[in-house]
Structure 1
Amino acid sequence: MDLTINGARLNVEVLEPTNGDPDAPVLIAHHGGGGIGSLAEPKATFGPLHDRFRVIVFDSRGCGRSEGVGPYTHEQWAADVDGLRQWAGVEQIVVAGGSYGGFIALEYAVRYPEHVSAIILRDTSADGTNLELAFENARNQDRVEINWDHFNRYWGGQTRSDEELKSLWAELIPLYDYEYDEEKSTAAVEAGIYRHEAHNACFVDNFPTYDLKPDLPGIAVPTLVTVGRGDWVTPVSASETIARLIPDAKLVVFEKSGHSPQVEEREKFQQTLRDFLARAVPVAATV
C-alpha cells in the first residue's frame, strides 16, 4: 500500500498477526542498503514473525518504490519510522534493521526511546569506523579484483545514475557472502531497485558525522546484535562495540555467514530472533 508519511509517499507492507490478537505487538523493520535496498529483505527476514507480531516493512523515502522526497538524512528516516508507528496506533514498537538499516534503527532508539520496547540489529555499526576496516578487508581479500576508482566512487557517494549504481554494486556483491555463489549474486543484482540520489546522500551527507557510540549506554531496552563472522563491511568488531555499550544487549555471531546471516544461516537466525523476542516481548505482556 501507499502511505503518506511526513510528506512523502512510502511503499508499505503490513503483515497482520495470524494469531488474531488485536493487540499484537508491532515490529517495524528498516531495510539496509541505502539507495540499493527495499522492503524485500526485511519482509523475508521478519515476515515469519507475523504469527504473533504485526510486522511493518517499507521502502524508505528515496529508496525502492517510495517517493524521492528529501531530505535523505538519518533524522528524517528515523522520523519516518515514527510516522509509521503513529499510523499503526501504538505507543511502542520493536525496531529492527540490518546493515544501513541498523544505523536508522539505532538512530530511532536514541531519538525516540519512549517508543521502543526492543531492538534487533544485524551486521551494522554505531559509527563510521567500519568503513576503514572494510577498505582494509577489501585490500586483503583475493575473491575479486577491485577496481579502486569504482570502489571509491561507490563508497564516496559519487554515483552518477541509477544504472551506474547497479553496475558498481555488481562489482562489490561477491565480497558479501561467506561462500560466493555467482548465480545467486547475479540474480540479487537484477532483482534490486537502484536509487543513486539516496545512496549518495548516505555517504556524502550522513556517514561522515555518524557516531552514536556516546548515546548507546543510555539505551534501556533489550537489544539483539547479530553479525556474520565473515562480514567484510561491518565486521564483528563493530557489533562487539555495540553490544559492549548497550547495557542489555546480547551478541550472536553466525560462524558460517558473511554480511547476511539471515539468509546464509536462516534457520538458526530465525530461532535466534524468536528466543530473543520471547524474553524481550513476552506474550503475557500483550494480552
Structure 2
Amino acid sequence: MWDYFDDVVRLLGDGVRAVRWDQRGCGRSAGDGPYTIARFIADLDAVRVSCGVERVHLLGHSWGATLALRYALVHPERVASLSYVSGTGVDPDSTWKPTYAREVLRRIGADAPRWQELESRDRTPGEEREHAVLQWTTDFVDPATARERAEEFATPWWGINYVCSAAINGEAKRFLVDNDVPALCRSLAVPTLIVDGDRDLRPRWAVDSLERSLPDVRRVTLAGAGHIPWAEDPAGFRAAVLGFLASRDGGAS
C-alpha cells in the first residue's frame, strides 16, 4: 500500500522529525521489484542515508511493524528505538489467522456476501477499491463510523500491489518457519514499544511471544481501539509514543 501516516505525524507534533515514504512498487513509488524483504530493508536504509542520520527511531504499523523489526534485527546499531504498532508477532504457525478470518466476516456483517463475491474473482479497478473499503471497515471498532474511516484511507486511491503483497507475505512466512525468531529477538538490544488496540481483529495474543522475547520492551494496549489505534484513541496513542521516545532519546533523528 501507500503511506497513510498523515494523522500520526500530526499527533506527534513539531517536536518530531517524521520521514515517510511509499514502499517500492506501491502508491506513488515508481520502483519495480525485486519484491524481497532484503530489498525493502535496503530501501529503508537508503531513506535513512538520504536524511543524513546515523540512528533513527523506527515506527512501523501492521506489515510495517514486521519490516521495522526485521530492519532492527539486521541493523541494530542504526536503530535508537522501535515502535511496533498493530503487528502480528513471530508465531511460525500464524495461529492468529483463523480468528482473524472469522472476525473479518463477522465485522463486515450484512456486506459479507458482497465482499466474498468480490474476493472470489478478478475485479475491475472500481471493484478493487470497493473490496478494500469493505475489508478495511473491520479495522475500526465503531460500525457507525467504520465505513467513513475506511473511505478516508482509500482516498486518494493508489491501488494495491498484490504481486508485491504475495511475494513479501510469502517470504515473511518462510522466515518465521526457517528461523528461531524469538531467539533472534532475545539478542536485540533495541528499546521497543509495542502498541496494540485491544479490539484489533488480529488477536493480540499473537504478539505475546514477541513481547516475552525482547529484552527491553514496553507494551501499551489502548482500550476500545482497533487495528488503527491512532484513529480511535489519538490521545492514548500520542502519549504512548511520545512518552516512549522521550525516555529513549539517544541522539537519533
Superposition RMSD in Å: 2.7
Corresponding residue for 2:247? 279
Corresponding residue for 1:38? 2
Q: Is the contact between residue 225 and residue 242 of structure 1 (CA under 8 Å) also seen in structure 2? A: no
Corresponding residue for 1:168? 131
Corresponding residue for 1:9? none
Counterpart of 1:200 (choices 166, 169, 181) is 166
Corresponding residue for 1:71? 34
TM-score when normalising by structure 2? 0.83
Corresponding residue for 1:142? 106
Counterpart of 2:222 (choices 224, 245, 254) is 254
Matched, 1:121 2:84: yes
TM-superposed CA distance for 1:151, in Å, is 8.6
Q: Equivalences for 1:157-236 in 2 at 5 Å? A: 165-180=128-143, 181=145, 182-196=147-161, 197-203=163-169, 205-211=170-176, 212-233=181-202, 235-236=203-204
Q: Is the contact between residue 89 and residue 208 of structure 2 (CA under 8 Å) also seen in structure 1? A: no
Normalized per residue, the structure richer in helix is 2
> Residues 263 and 95 from structure 1, CA distance in 2 versus in 1: closer, same or farther, beyond 3 angstroms?
same
TM-superposed CA distance for 1:160, in Å, is 7.0
> Residues 230 and 67 from structure 1, CA distance in 2 versus in 1: closer, same or farther, beyond 3 angstroms?
same
- Equivalent pairs counted in the alignment come to 241
Question: For each residue in 1:114-154, what CA deviation from the matched residue of structure 2 results, as whole angstroms up to 9, or x when unmatched?
Answer: 1111001100023366854233243256332545866976x
Question: For each residue in 1:85-125, what CA deviation from the matched residue of structure 2 results, as whole angstroms up to 9, or x when unmatched?
Answer: 11112211111100011011001001111111100110002
Cα distance in 2, alignment partners of residues 216 and 151 from structure 1: 39
The code of the aligned residue for 2:45 comes to D
Cα distance in 1, alignment partners of residues 122 and 35 from structure 2: 16
Corresponding residue for 1:106? 69
TM-superposed CA distance for 1:73, in Å, is 1.5
Question: For each residue in 1:175-221, what CA deviation from the matched residue of structure 2 results, as whole angstroms up to 9, or x when unmatched?
Answer: 21121222332343343421323233233x42431423332111102
Question: For each residue in 1:39-89, what CA deviation from the matched residue of structure 2 results, as whole angstroms up to 9, or x when unmatched?
Answer: 2x2232135435233221110111110014101121111111111111112
> Residues 179 and 163 from structure 1, CA distance in 2 versus in 1: closer, same or farther, beyond 3 angstroms?
same
> Residues 83 and 101 from structure 1, CA distance in 2 versus in 1: closer, same or farther, beyond 3 angstroms?
same
Percentage of matched positions with identical amino acids: 25
Q: Is the contact between residue 121 and residue 226 of structure 1 (CA under 8 Å) also seen in structure 2? A: yes
Cα distance in 1, alignment partners of residues 93 and 249 from structure 2: 30
Q: Is the contact between residue 61 and residue 67 of structure 1 (CA under 8 Å) also seen in structure 2? A: yes
The code of the aligned residue for 1:279 comes to S
Normalized per residue, the structure richer in strand is 1
Question: For each residue in 1:14-57, what CA deviation from the matched residue of structure 2 results, as whole angstroms up to 9, or x when unmatched?
Answer: xxxxxxxxxxxxxxxxxxxxxxx322x22321354352332211
The code of the aligned residue for 2:183 comes to P
Cα distance in 2, alignment partners of residues 206 and 151 from structure 1: 26
Question: For each residue in 1:259-283, what CA deviation from the matched residue of structure 2 results, as whole angstroms up to 9, or x when unmatched?
Answer: 011111001110111110111116x
Cα distance in 2, alignment partners of residues 224 and 151 from structure 1: 37
